[in-house]
């Protein structure tokens, strides 16, 4: 799907339930970086997607048409150096499929997924449905975007081409919220 960032921002401005936008300063946005990998020992960082920069510049407290924060969880993962840290799906997978009732401690199963230090970072986007939604930090495309990954219970898959496509579809009601 070919939706422009300008189209997304125009739509966001129409449906934002936060009536007094609180933009993040250009200086603060310019110092932000995102972890490139899930492994906490692999500290390499990379640029934010252009759509995230634009959303933060418009309203850091953006509320969707479902009256839910869109980038609140992401902002809580920013450290004092301005680095957005990766989410780890291990705990969610452990509890989500009932491994906690097996009597096996989560530490004995770690990592539940894979411990490859090159696994792309997962940056959580708040979502109203049952699925977890992530910016999947690989290589930025020609528009400066990363793909979107979804996780539900123990299933994980790449879904939309970018945060632009994901948010546009959710906000416009063109896609089921999952």
CATH of the domain at 59: 3.40.1580.30
Structural domain total, the chain:
1
Is residue 50 one of the residues assigned to a domain? Answer: yes
pTM of the model as a whole:
0.84
3-class SS of residue 124: strand
pLDDT digits (tens, 9 = 90+) for 71-124: 999 999 999 999 999 988 776 666 766 777 888 777 776 665 666 788 899 999
Is residue 155 one of the residues assigned to a domain? Answer: no
pLDDT digits (tens, 9 = 90+) for 146-160: 999 998 877 788 888
pLDDT digits (tens, 9 = 90+) for 14-63: 989 989 999 999 999 999 999 999 888 899 999 999 999 999 999 999 99
Tokens matching residue 128: 């109203």
Q: What is the SS3 assignment for 43-81?
A: CCEECCCHHHHHHHHHCCCCECCCCCECCHHHHHCECCC
Is residue 9 one of the residues assigned to a domain? Answer: no
pLDDT at residue number 100: 76
Is residue 83 one of the residues assigned to a domain? Answer: yes
Q: How confident is the model at residue 177 (pLDDT cuts 50, 70, 90)?
A: very low
pLDDT digits (tens, 9 = 90+) for 28-40: 999 999 999 988 8
Range of the structural domain that residue 140 is part of:
33-150+164-172
Query: How many angstroms separate the CA atoms of 15 and 162, rounded?
Result: 20
Angle (CA) 141-151-77 rounded to 5° is: 70
Chain centroid to Cα 67, Å, comes to 18
Query: How many angstroms separate the CA atoms of 131 and 173, rounded?
Result: 16
Chain centroid to Cα 61, Å, comes to 15
Share the mean pLDDT of the chain: 87
pLDDT at residue number 11: 92
């Amino acid at each position: 799907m070919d939706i422009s960032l300008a189209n997304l921002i125009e739509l966001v401005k129409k449906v934002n339930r936060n009536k007094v936008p609180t933009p993040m300063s250009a200086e603060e946005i310019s110092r932000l970086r995102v972890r490139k990998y899930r492994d906490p020992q692999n500290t390499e960082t990379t640029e934010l997607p252009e759509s995230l920069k634009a959303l933060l510049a418009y309203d850091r407290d953006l509320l969707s048409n479902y009256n839910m924060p869109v980038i609140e969880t992401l902002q809580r993962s920013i450290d004092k150096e301005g680095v957005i840290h990766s989410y780890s799906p291990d705990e969610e997978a452990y509890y989500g499929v009932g491994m906690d009732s097996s009597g096996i401690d989560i530490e004995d199963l770690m990592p539940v997924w894979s411990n490859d230090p090159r696994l792309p970072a997962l940056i959580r986007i708040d979502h109203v449905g049952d699925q977890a939604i992530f910016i999947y930090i690989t290589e930025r495309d020609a528009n400066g975007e990363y793909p979107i990954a979804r996780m539900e219970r123990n299933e994980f898959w790449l879904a939309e081409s970018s945060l632009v496509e994901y948010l546009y579809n959710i906000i416009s009601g063109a896609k089921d919220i999952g």
